[in-house]
Amino acid sequence: MKLIVIILSKVVYGGESVGRDIRIKTSISGIHAVLDKRIHVGSAISLSHSIAAIESDWEKLYEILIRARTGDGKSIGTLHVVD
């Protein structure tokens, strides 16, 4: 078994402004996490936010879903990776 730790290390806020309060929701192989951050358009923040720690004998993760929303709930992007 291997311990796989997924860490969100950086958030870059590009494009048009949708507000400065951002919520990032992640789902990785059924493990869910939420991060609320205040960030200004055109900036980047470095993080060390643990999203999931999974013990597995898999060689790779099979599904990763990341959603970003504004503070009032408006969806601003989704990344869905299936391997």
CA 46 to chain centre: 13
Let me know: does 29 contact 54? Beta carbons within 8 Å: yes
Q: How many whole angstroms separate alpha carbon 33 and alpha carbon 36?
A: 10
User: According to CATH, what is the number of the domain 2-82?
Assistant: 2.60.40
- Residue-level pLDDT at 68: 78
Task: Give the start-to-end residue ranges of the domains of the chain.
Answer: 2-82
Gap between the Cα atoms of 58 and 4, Å rounded: 9
Q: How far apart are CA 20 and CA 71, in angstroms?
A: 8
Q: What is the pTM of this model?
A: 0.67
Task: Write the pLDDT tens digit of every residue in 18-77.
Answer: 888 888 888 877 788 888 989 888 888 888 888 888 887 766 655 677 777 777 777 777
